[in-house]
Amino acid sequence: MILHSQQTGTGAPVLLLHGLLGSAKNLGVIARGLADRARVISIDLRNHGASLHNEAMDYPTMAADIMATMADLAIPKADIVGHSMGGKVAMRLALERPDLVGRLAVLDIAPARYRHGFADYLQAMRGIELSPALTRHEADTALSKAVPEAHFRAFLLNNLVLGESPHWRAALPEIAAAMSDILDWPAMDTQFDGPVLFLGGAKSTYIPGHEHTIAALFPHAQIEMIENASHWLHAEQPGLIVAMLRRFLFG
């Protein structure tokens, strides 16, 4: 599947891959921070943003989407930055097709299976009655019980399109059905020998405990934990994250 993308800047290509229930614009602070030195391509992964919907969401399939999109954009090789689910897609691509990846930066995720998913959030989102009269405030209120954090509700509601034909940009039924694959990490016995940077939030639990697995698959990986940041480290410490990515990608 060829994915929807948006581009900014000129130079060597850098692909940005967002996390679950996000979209290309969620990594806008990174795109803007790199655009003076690179051609930044922000991608909507399948079932997200303006990309097509499909029931398959395993990582081999999503990595194949990136291959097809790179070919369509005539990009023979790119540096890749991926957050959360997008980081897993990026890791799978680097391990399967190392010839397509220069430098790899992974934000707050590891090559591991996780137990906690977004099932409750998805159920709450799907439970909102969509009508032309629906307001964003009403949708926010409807989500507040299942999602008490206001900033996270705002993130989820970025997917909601209001108006005469209200709808969710994200393919909620397909994502819900594929949650087991999204949480999973299919075992691989290959390595990516290129430069890799893992950035994790010090308040997050996604990377700790998986350091040995990271080292086995990515022998040249650096791991840096960011103070005063959680899973959404690029939103909580944008200046620092951009500076670290610039140093890693551009030297």
The secondary structure element, H or E, covering residue 39 is strand 38-43
pLDDT tens figures, 91-109: 999 999 999 999 999 999 9
Q: Tens digit of pLDDT for each residue in 197-213? A: 999 999 999 999 999 99
Containing H/E element for 18?
none
pLDDT in tens, 10-53: 999 999 999 999 999 999 999 999 999 999 999 999 999 999 99
Instruction: Give the per-residue pLDDT at 195.
Output: 98
Q: What is the pLDDT of residue 128?
A: 95
pTM of the predicted structure, to 2 decimals: 0.96
Q: Whats the size of the chain, residue-wise?
A: 251
Residue 218 has pLDDT above 90, yes or no: yes
Q: Which pLDDT does position 160 carry in this prediction?
A: 97
Please give the radius of gyration of the chain, using alpha carbons only, rounded to the nearest integer: 18
Predicted confidence at residue 118, as pLDDT, reads 82
* CA torsion, ordered 33, 34, 35, 41, to nearest 10 deg: -110
Work out the percent of the chain whose per-residue pLDDT is above 90.
Answer: 96
Q: What is the pLDDT confidence band of residue 115, given thresholds at 50, 70 and 90?
A: confident
Once rounded to an integer, what is the mean pLDDT over residues 61-83?
A: 98
**How many C-beta neighbours within 10 Å does residue 109 have?**
26
**CA-CA distance, 175 to 138, in Å (whole number)?**
24
Q: Which domains does the chain have, with CATH numbers?
A: 5-113+186-250 (3.40.50.1820), 119-177 (no CATH)
CB contact burial 35-55 (16+ within 10 A = b; e otherwise): beebbbbbbbbbbbbebeeee
pLDDT digits (tens, 9 = 90+) for 150-188: 989 999 999 999 999 999 999 999 999 999 999 999 989
Q: Is the confidence at residue 116, as pLDDT, over 80?
A: no
Q: What is the pLDDT of residue 63?
A: 98
Host H or E run for residue 225: strand 221-226
Per-residue pLDDT tens digits for 119-159: 889 999 999 999 999 999 999 999 999 999 998 999 999 99
The CA-CA-CA angle for residues 85, 31, 99, to 5°, reads: 60
